[in-house]
Amino acid sequence: MIQLTVNGKTENLDVSPDMPLLWAIRDTLGLTGTKFGCGVAQCGACVVHLDGEAVRSCVTKMSRAKGKNVVTIEGLSKDNDHPAQKAWQEIDVPQCGYCHSGQIMSAAVLLRENPNPTDQDIDDAMAGNICRCGTYPRIRKAIHLASQMQEKNKI
C-alpha cells in the first residue's frame, strides 16, 4: 500500500512503487483532468503539484509520491476560481484543450513564485508545456491577467 494525499484526501493505493503517478491519478483514482501526452517528460500535459512543486506525473514514480501531497487540476481550487483558471476562461485560451490542465498547473506555480512575471519569465517558465494548437500568445495573455487578478485579490 502506498499512502499519499491527493487533493486534500488521504489515499491508500495498492499499486507498484514503480507505477507512474499519472497512472494512479487517472486509472486508479479516476481523476482524468490530468492528461497523458508523450509519457517521456517532453510535453507537460501531465503536470501536477507534488508538495507544491510542478512535476511531470508520467515520469514520477509512486515511490517518490509516497507520503506527499499531490494536487491535480481537479483540486487546484474549490470552484475553478484560481486566478489562472479564471483568466483562462476569460481569455478563452484553449483550442482543443488537451494541454491546458498541464499549462494551468505550471502557470499556478509560476504565479506563486513570481507574482508579476514578464513575458520572458512566462516563456521561460512555460517552455516545457507544449501546445500543438499554438495557443502560446493567449497563454501569455492569460498569465498576465491572472497576475493582475491575484494582485487585486490581495487588496
Of 48, 79, 81, 76, the closest CA to residue 62 belongs to 48
Q: Smallest gap, in angstroms, from Cβ of residue 126 to ligand FES?
A: 12
Q: Is 94 in the site for ligand FES (CB under 6 A)?
A: yes
Residues contacting ligand FES: total by CB under 6 A: 22
Alpha carbon of 87 to those of 23, 33, 57: distances in Å? 29, 18, 25
Show the site string, 11-40: x = touches ligand FES by CB under 6 A, - = not: -------------------------xxxx-
Binder among 135, 140, 142, 150 for ligand FES (CB under 6 A) = 135
Binder among 13, 19, 41, 109 for ligand FES (CB under 6 A) = 41
What residues form DSSP beta bridges with 48?
A: 55
Binder among 29, 46, 62, 143 for ligand FES (CB under 6 A) = 46
Question: Closest CB to ligand FES among 91 and 150?
Answer: 91
Among residue numbers 54 through 73, which ones bind ligand FES (CB under 6 A)?
56, 58
Phi, psi of 104 (to 5 degrees): -65, -40
C-alpha cell at 64: 517518490
Binder among 65, 131, 142, 145 for ligand FES (CB under 6 A) = 131
Counted residue by residue, the chain has a size of: 155
Q: Is 49 in the site for ligand FES (CB under 6 A)?
A: no
How far is the C-alpha of 115 from the C-alpha of 2, rounded, in Å?
35
* Beta carbons of 136 and 97 less than 8 angstroms apart: no
Of 72, 27, 65, the closest CA to residue 46 belongs to 72
Point out which residues bind ligand FES (CB under 6 A): 36-39, 41-46, 56, 58, 94-99, 131-133, 135
